[in-house]
Structure 1
Amino acid sequence: MNKIWRPFASYNLWLQFAPPVGQEHFHCDMKRGFTKARKKEPQVQSLLEKDTTPQRIGILAQRGIYEFHQYPAMLSRKDGVEQVAEIMQLSRESVEVQERVISVLQKYQENPILLGKKILKLNRGDEGFPEPILIKYGNYIFNLYAAIDCIYTEPDGMLHILDFKTGKSDFDLRQGYVYLLAVSYLYPQQKAIASFYNLETGKESQPISATADTLKFFQIELVQIAQRHQKDLKRYRNNPADFRIIYPPNPGISCRHCPFNSICNFSVSEVAA
């Protein structure tokens, strides 16, 4: 049976429209254009299929936590980190990825924050798109995608959404609220909070909670994101030559780390200090 097509929204899509506060100078709409409007072109598709180094580290760090809790005895074994790394075939990765993921595994073994928790859901990190959540707002219907890393139950029955991070980026509270909205649909009878934990630095956020009015606000924001995305796609399909107008470039230092710098006409390889 063919699935019914619906417009969609997600935190990732929102991020491609509007970066976190303080990151505006790194933001480039053309990257969204390649990712969303031109993703079926062979060159673009090939680049999208390759994880960047930060993406690879994030995926494998999540996988490592998953494997530790599949085999909890590994958390107390002296060779636990080596065993998990072997399960993950970490030796096949680049030196940088290996070193940083090993460091994550070592730090988690020292401070296994999920140990003893009543885990409701823990993703491997490589599952791909989650099942969509059907959202209705008036006459508008769209799919919400929320790739939640972990949900566990607090002793008082409260659901705790935990999102793992790697790297040096600050936490974006919008992601926490989007996940709280998703969980309000998945578990409508249960209260929930959300938080972030950086597996490399050990930094954690304060718990995030939301009232019904707050969730309604974020639902409206996601409706607008879904509508803007479909409007841009329609404009591009009708006028492919207007790609740079619909998805304007922002050449600069961010080009160094953009996966599309090899095919983008506006990419700059050298940026003055």
Structure 2
Amino acid sequence: MKKIWEFASYNLWLLFSPPVGREMGHCDRKRGYTKARKKEPVVKELLEKDTSWQRIGILAQKGVYEFHQDLRLFEAAEGVDQVAEILNLEREEPEVRKRVGEILVNYQKNQFLRGREIIKLSRGDEGFPVPIEVKQGNFVFNFYAAIDCIVRETEGRLHIIDLKTGKSEPDRRQGLVYLLACQYLYPDQQAIASFYNLETGEQTEPIQATAKQLQSIQRELASIAKRHQEELRRYRRNPEAFEEIYPANPHSNCLYCNFNSICKFSTLESAA
């Protein structure tokens, strides 16, 4: 089997370009740590440690998954406690335990996905999905799309649902990336995408895309895959140029960055 080193995903796109309205806090240095220096022991340890908001998202997804593994949990008086036990929620820090507990209570009441034809429901900790090999002109790259949930609507159309937590506005690009993936995974089937917030119970309006729009998304992902590999090649040829290739952008967001313990700029920002 041939190896394809170039790859793209929504997460990689996000590391290159933030959502509209969040440009001020974007920092390319984070991409450098995440992608170029990820095998260094200190960086690897930081990458393996989830932040509180990451833990909340992962555990919330797992909680939804567990409810649908045993539908009796929706009706059981101890259903939430049983799911919390499966998640080992008592081992989590207080804020994570509190918010995930509230999400489980809300989901047992709202039962958002119950009764729908679920085609796919991710547990949330499966790791990298199977890549989709994409050809853009003469360029071939692996395309990764970690989709939370796909349901089939009554009229037969597929509906990709990304499960969210927190207060940040969803990024429309993520929905479009998932629609592109759906085009490859389920050819000849119509699809829409939306975001559902497990904490607020709010769902966004459906996102639809034409074939022309999805081609544009594919070209953008191909461009990102090329740019990413070129950066890595530059860094490997000259590791001393790390700060030039991946410039930092000191901002108040540094306080919440995974790498604030090893980045000198986060210290400067904290002292400002």
Q: TM-score band (shorter)?
A: over 0.9
State the shift of 1:181 in Å.
0.1
How far apart in 1 are the matches of 2:217 and 2:149? 21
Partner of 1:207: 206
Partner of 1:221: 220
Partner of 2:162: 163
Partner of 1:270: 270
Partner of 1:81: 80
Structure 1 contact 193–208 (Cα < 8 Å) conserved: yes
The reply on whether 1:19 has 2:10 as its aligned counterpart is no
Partner of 1:107: 106
Deviation string 1:163-184 (CA, Å, 9 cap, x unpaired) is: 0011111010000000000010
State the shift of 1:214 in Å.
0.5
SS at match of 1:142: strand
How far apart in 1 are the matches of 2:202 and 2:25? 23
State the shift of 1:271 in Å.
5.5
State the shift of 1:123 in Å.
0.5
Structure 2 contact 4–141 (Cα < 8 Å) conserved: no
1:175 counterpart letter in structure 2 = Q
Partner of 1:133: 132
How far apart in 1 are the matches of 2:253 and 2:57? 19
How far apart in 1 are the matches of 2:172 and 2:87? 31
State the shift of 1:6 in Å.
2.7
State the shift of 1:40 in Å.
0.5
State the shift of 1:16 in Å.
0.3
SS at match of 1:263: coil
Q: Which consecutive residues of structure 2, in runs of 5 or more, have no partner in the other structure?
A: none
How far apart in 2 are the matches of 1:218 and 1:54? 28
State the shift of 1:265 in Å.
2.2
1:140-155 correspondence runs (5 A)? 140-155=139-154
1:241-252 correspondence runs (5 A)? 241-252=240-251
1:64-79 correspondence runs (5 A)? 64-79=63-78
How far apart in 1 are the matches of 2:180 and 2:55? 27
Q: Which consecutive residues of structure 1, in runs of 5 or more, have no partner in the other structure?
A: none
State the shift of 1:4 in Å.
1.4
State the shift of 1:12 in Å.
0.2
Deviation string 1:3-40 (CA, Å, 9 cap, x unpaired) is: 61330000000000000111111111000000000001
How far apart in 2 are the matches of 1:205 and 1:131? 27
Partner of 1:194: 193
1:81 counterpart letter in structure 2 = V
Structure 1 contact 252–271 (Cα < 8 Å) conserved: no
Percent of paired sites with the same residue: 61
How far apart in 2 are the matches of 1:86 and 1:3? 43
SS at match of 2:120: strand
2:213 counterpart letter in structure 1 = T
SS at match of 1:270: helix
Structure 1 contact 6–141 (Cα < 8 Å) conserved: no
How far apart in 2 are the matches of 1:42 and 1:270? 25
State the shift of 1:89 in Å.
1.0
SS at match of 1:24: coil
How far apart in 2 are the matches of 1:175 and 1:271? 35
TM-score, length-scaled by structure 2: 0.97
How far apart in 1 are the matches of 2:95 and 2:264? 29
SS at match of 1:84: helix
Number of residue pairs the alignment of both structures matches: 271
Judged with a 3 Å threshold, the aligned counterparts in structure 2 of structure 1 residues 227 and 90 are, in CA distance, closer, same or farther, namely same
State the shift of 1:231 in Å.
0.9
How far apart in 1 are the matches of 2:122 and 2:271? 39
1:166 counterpart letter in structure 2 = T
Larger mean Cα displacement after TM superposition, 2-11 or 198-207: 2-11
Runs of 4+ off more than 6 Å: none
Structure 1 contact 253–271 (Cα < 8 Å) conserved: no
